């Protein structure tokens, strides 16, 4: 039997230590960069492309006042009376608390404003609107304090009789 020794090369172990370490570090760096980029996209990339929704507006508070009856100014010598019921439209309940504390002053000022009117002024829609604006301004002035501003949105007439 013949033994052949043709093309036999000595087996040399490969240099796997340094190459493996570099390969593992490179793969780890790629994974970390990918995770960082994905996290940045997830956290910073959330933009709302639709219109912003406004905060819900709380419903107004309606604050009714007791009915008032006053004598009106008259040039014709006949006594004229006004019976009026008022409701104040407020933005919130804080304004109602501020107005309740000052109610005697508010009623007094409203009575003075109403008793200074002539029946002819109150006969038209424009006259009533002007009166509502005047009353709103007076109530806001009296009922407001620096700590508790009273924002009156509108003065609503619930009863309005001129006789």
C-alpha–C-alpha distance, residues 59 and 99, integer Å: 18
The pLDDT assigned to 60 comes to 87
pLDDT tens, position by position, 127-154: 999 999 999 999 988 887 777 777 889 9
| Mean of pLDDT values over 116-136 | 92
Residue (of 110, 100, 115) closest to 138 by Cα position: 110
- The pLDDT assigned to 78 comes to 86
pLDDT confidence of 19, banded at 50, 70, 90?
A: confident
Domains of the chain, residue spans: 61-162
The predicted-structure confidence for 75-112, as pLDDT tens digits, reads as follows: 888 889 999 999 999 988 888 888 888 899 999 999 99
**pLDDT band at residue 7 using 50, 70 and 90 as cut-offs:** low
CA dihedral 13, 15, 20, 21 (to 10 degrees): 140
Whether this model's pTM surpasses 0.85: no
The confidence score (pLDDT) of residue 16 equals 61
User: What integer best gives the mean pLDDT of the chain?
Assistant: 84
Residue 110 has a pLDDT of 93
| Whole-number Å distance between alpha carbons of 141 and 143 | 6
Question: Bigger pLDDT: 47 or 117?
Answer: 117
In the structure encoding, which two tokens stand for residue 54, read together?
């406004």
- First and final C-alpha spacing in the chain: 144
Q: Which CATH class is domain 61-162?
A: alpha beta
Residue 91 class from Cβ within 10 Å (0-12 exposed, 13-18 middle, 19+ buried)? middle
């Amino acid at each position: 039997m013949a033994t052949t020794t043709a093309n036999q090369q000595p087996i040399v172990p490969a240099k796997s230590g340094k190459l493996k370490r570099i390969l593992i570090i490179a793969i780890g760096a790629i994974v970390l960069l990918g995770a960082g980029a994905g996290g940045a996209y997830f956290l910073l990339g959330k933009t709302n492309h639709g219109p912003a929704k406004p905060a819900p507006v709380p419903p107004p508070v309606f604050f009714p006042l007791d009915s008032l009856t006053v004598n009106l100014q008259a040039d014709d010598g006949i006594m004229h009376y006004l019976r009026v019921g008022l409701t104040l439209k407020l933005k919130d309940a804080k304004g109602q608390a501020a107005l309740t504390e000052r109610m005697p002053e508010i009623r007094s000022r409203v009575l003075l404003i109403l008793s200074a009117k002539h029946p002819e002024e109150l006969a038209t829609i424009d006259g009533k609107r002007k009166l509502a604006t005047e009353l709103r301004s007076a109530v806001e002035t009296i009922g407001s304090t620096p700590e508790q501003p009273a924002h009156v949105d509108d003065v609503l007439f619930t009863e309005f009789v001129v006789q």
